[in-house]
Amino acid sequence: MPKHRVLIVEDEQDIAGLIKLSIERAGDTDAHIVGSGDAALKAVADRIPDLIVLDLNLPVVGGLEVCRILRSRSDVPHVPIIMLTARASEDDRVTGLEHGADDYVTKPFSVRELTARVRAALRRGPASESRSRGTYQGDRLTADFEAVAIAVDGAAVRLTRREFELLQYLVQNKNRVVTRDRLLERVWGYERLVETRSVDVHVGRLRNKLGEASRQIETVVGLGYRFID
């Protein structure tokens, strides 16, 4: 079996080495380290990784800008990005998620927990290989989950991997309330390791991209969300 490839973007070499050692321990993953934002962009251009661990405080090009650039590229929208940073405020976490990160880990951090997040994301595989496929046709929203194609009023909508899988799971459970914890388990792939705020930010980003069709995603106060058909 080919090994997963993880790109670690971290300018503190001792931290990067520790992450690499932990990720590679199981023997099914190769981790490559770069120490600057421009080097990260070049590394992705040379070979698209299966996952990126991205520090924010980077020389040359900052982590947020790296994330924004990668999310704007048509060939890497579904590569999971886990931000790793000393910026620990809620505003910082929300900003990171809004720039397209799938997850946000603050320093100091547990290597074991970070590794668990990485492995959970890798287990999920590409969005096109999601466990349940099919299509959805609404008044405004059209979704072909097998082809990874979303459109609103006939216009194509580009979603990140996490946004796509979030929409897919909500549609699969249409007209039923899905709790935040359930979304963490089934969309993120692990339980209670992500701030609940992460779910809310991703739903907000998804709604913004769906425009008028966003009205089909209903907030159920105190519980979670429901996709209304």
pLDDT digits (tens, 9 = 90+) for 65-85: 999 899 888 777 678 899 988
| Structural contact between residues 105 and 82, judged by C-beta atoms closer than 8 angstroms | yes
For the chain, the domains span: 4-125, 128-227
* Domain pair 4-125 / 128-227, same fold: no
Q: What is the pLDDT of residue 113?
A: 86
pLDDT of residue 194: 56
Instruction: Report the Cα–Cα distance between both ends of the chain, in Å, rounded.
Output: 41
Fold of 4-125: Rossmann fold (3.40.50)
The dihedrals phi and psi of 111, each to the nearest 5 degrees, come to: -60, -35
Q: 120 near 80, Cβ under 8 Å? A: no
In the sheet that holds 217-220, the strands lie side by side as: 178-179, 224-227, 217-220
Task: Collect the ranges in the chain with pLDDT lower than 70.
Answer: 1, 77, 88, 124-133, 190-196
Characterize the bridge pairing of strands 51-55 and 81-85: parallel
Tokens of 95: 């900003």
| pLDDT given at position 201 | 87
Residue 133: its pLDDT value, please?
55
Tell me which fold the domain 128-227 belongs to. Answer: Arc Repressor Mutant, subunit A (1.10.10)
**In DSSP terms, which residues pair with 51 in a beta bridge?**
6
pLDDT at site 132? 47
Residue pLDDT, tens place only, 202-218: 899 999 999 999 999 99
